[in-house]
Structures are given as C-alpha cells and as structure tokens.
Amino acid sequence: MGYYDDHTDSSRKNRQKGNKGGYLLSSVAGVIIGAVLVVALLPRMGDFAGIQFGDQGQSNTSENANVETEKVSLDVVTDVTKAVDKAGDAVVSISNIQAAGFWSREENAEGVQAGSGSGVIYKKEGDRAFIITNHHVVEGAQQLEVSLSTGEKLPAKIVGTDVWTDLAVIEVDGSQIKTVAEFGDSDALKIGEPVIAIGNPLGQFEGSVTQGIISGLERTVPVDIDQNGTVDWNAEVIQTDAAINPGNSGGALVNISGQVIGINSMKIAESIVEGIGLAIPINFTKTVISDLEQHGEVKRPFMGVQLASVNEIPGYYQEEALKLPKDVKSGVVISSVEPNSPASKAGLQDMDVIVELDGEPIVDVIDLRHHLYTKKNIGDDMKIKYYRNGKAEETTMKLAPENTF
C-alpha cells in the first residue's frame, strides 16, 4: 500500500502562490524605483546633453559667453630690467666697412662690411657724441656705421685707437643721441656680484642682454699684438660668466645699478671652454679715453730701446755674453739704444740687463712694459738697476714722449 502526504503537496502549492506574489511585488517596486531615479536624474542628464548637443546647450553656451575671462598682464620690474632700461639705449652696434679686391683701387669704391661689434655712448658734447669700443672692432675701417637702439643708422669717424689696450673712441652726430652711459667704479667690484652684458652678438642680435656674475678680478690674459706667436702684453681684465660672443666686443658690462663697469673685449672661444667672458675695467679706460680724445693716441713714456727677455736666451749666452751671475736668471736685455733717447741720456748701453725698475723686480719684457705703461708718466724719473759685464749698476732715466728727440 502506498503512502501519500497530502499536507506536503498542499504546502508546495502555497509556496508557489507566495513566490508568484513576491515576484510581482519585486517587479512593481523596481518599476517605481526606476521611475523615481529617472525623474531625479533627467534634469541633470538634460543639462549635460544640452551642453554638448541640445537646445539647452545653446542657452548654457549663451550664459557662458556672458562670463568674462580675466586676462593677466604682468608689469615685471626687477633690478635687472631697471639696469637694462638705464644703460641699454647707450649701447650701439658698429659696422666696419672696408673695400675689397679690385674695387679697393677705386676712389669711390663701394665698401663691404668686414666685421661688426658694439660700442658704448659715454659723452655728448655740443653737436658730437663719443663712443668707446674696441680697437679690433674698427681696425682697418674705411667707413664706420653706427646703429642706435631706435634703428637709426649714423656714419661715424675714428677719433683715436690704441692697440695695446684694445680700445678706440669714435664719434657721431649727437643730435639723435638721447641716452649717455653712466660709468661705475670697477675697483669696487666683488666676486659673485651680478652683472649684465649688453651688445650685438654675431652682428645681428642688436641690444642682446645676458646676465651673470663677476667670476674673477685682476685676471691677466696674454696678448700677441703683432700676431708673431710671441706674447707682447698681459691685459688686465674682469672675468664674467655672462655670455659674450663675437659681436659683443666693445659693448657694455653693467652692474645692477645700470652703471658701465667694463668694456667687453674678448671671449675664450675654445670648444671645451664655456662661461669665460672678459672685459676691460672701466677705471682703466678713463685715462686711455682722455688721451684718445685729445691726441688720437695714447701718450706713453718712452725709453728708446730694443729689448729681449733673459729667460728666452740660452744659459750659455747668459754667462758668456752677458756675464750674468749664476743667481740672476731673469731680467731684460737691451739689444740696442737709440741715439739721444732717454735711455742713451741715462747712460744705458747694448747688452745691459735691467733687473729692477723703481725697486720692483723685472722678470721679462712684459713686466717692463707693464711698469712703464701703467705706473709711469711722461716727464717722470725712473730708477733703474741693471747688470753690465756681471757688475750691478744703477741709473736714473727721465722719461719722454716718443719722437721728441
């Protein structure tokens, strides 16, 4: 006889009815929640869609168009900009124009630009304005043209040049000149002090400004004046890391107050060297400028001798020909004395070896020139210690200008 559980079957049917009712309630609840979400989010979705594509976007775009965007314009004023404003217009570009080839024979030959550099307007006097630059910037020029910061171009003429200091003075019509540079005190400079170089690098970037610091003071740089491979002079210069390139020569090295404290002159251009620019101290240029304005050249004291450095002479000849004591290894040999010159009047002779001037040791020809050109003036007396035939002697020479005897 089989067993049948009527209660279980009935319960299953009840559960099925309950499940159907639960599904119905869940579906209704889901519809209601979905509707609520649509109603809540529809305005926002409409806004989003409207911004991108819809009619509401036109309204919002219109509203956004009414919002003004603030434009920021900065009037930057720093110590550097003040310095450049003060000195910049006093720095000019200089074109060196020379005749070339066959046309150089023609009296009215048209010139070509042989080089370019920079210059600094330092004085305006009457209808003339004076510009300091480098000797090598104007060397060999048949014509000179100066370009002002305004773009105005003026013809210029040389007042005077000096190959030893690599300085020159030229002049232009002063009627167009509005700004004159102010000179500072190069003796008061400090290492690490900020400086600005202003000039015309590469002959095409007029009024270029570079910034750096004073890297060194009282540097000496050997200079071969006649390009014969022998050092003739040691130039005393300021070292800076402000970029100085070809064309910057003759331009201004300016302190943070806008005062000119140096004339840019040279750049060590080896590929392995960076950040070494050189300038002639402005205090040194002042006496040179004065002579160039007045005489067209620098009036220097003159001895009237031909010289050679002892350290360039073989040791055998130092002992046999000059008869120098073994402990004397430096000095300057007189190879010839001009008649009636200051040296002749002081009793100096060929083969005399100068070892001291005014009590200061003289090592070589460069030392002698430096003492003579920077520490003595025309008309001064100069005490000289020298050796003649191995014996120490002394004399006093009265210095005179060249070509006055």
Of 215, 249, 309, 341, which is the active-site residue?
249
Number of alpha helices (DSSP H) and beta strands (DSSP E) in the chain: 8, 20
HEC string for 97-166: EECCHHHHHCCCCCCEEEEEEEEEEEEEECCEEEEEECHHHHCCCCEEEEECCCCCEEEEEEEEEECCCC
By the 10 Å C-beta count (0-12 exposed, 13-18 middle, 19+ buried), 69 is classed as exposed
Close Cβ partners of 110 (under 8 Å, ≥ 6 residues apart):
99, 103
The DSSP 8-state label assigned to residue 70 in this structure reads: P
What is the Cα–Cα distance from 244 to 41, expressed in whole angstroms? 67
Q: Is 370 a catalytic residue?
A: no
What is the Cα–Cα distance from 96 to 247, expressed in whole angstroms? 11
Close Cβ partners of 188 (under 8 Å, ≥ 6 residues apart):
none
Closest CA to 168 of 141, 200, 203, 206: 141
Alpha helices in 247-404 (DSSP H): 282-295, 315-320, 342-345, 365-375
Q: How many beta carbons lie within 10 A of that of residue 369, not counting itself?
A: 18
By the 10 Å C-beta count (0-12 exposed, 13-18 middle, 19+ buried), 377 is classed as exposed
Q: Is 295 a catalytic residue?
A: no
- What's phi and psi for 232, nearest 5 deg? -105, -20
Closest CA to 380 of 405, 358, 353, 352: 358
Of 136, 208, 215, 370, which is the active-site residue?
136
The DSSP 8-state label assigned to residue 51 in this structure reads: H
Q: Is 116 a catalytic residue?
A: no
What is the Cα–Cα distance from 193 to 212, expressed in whole angstroms? 8
Closest CA to 51 of 41, 62, 42, 40: 62
Of 166, 241, 364, 367, which is the active-site residue?
166
By annotation, the residues acting in catalysis are: 136, 166, 249
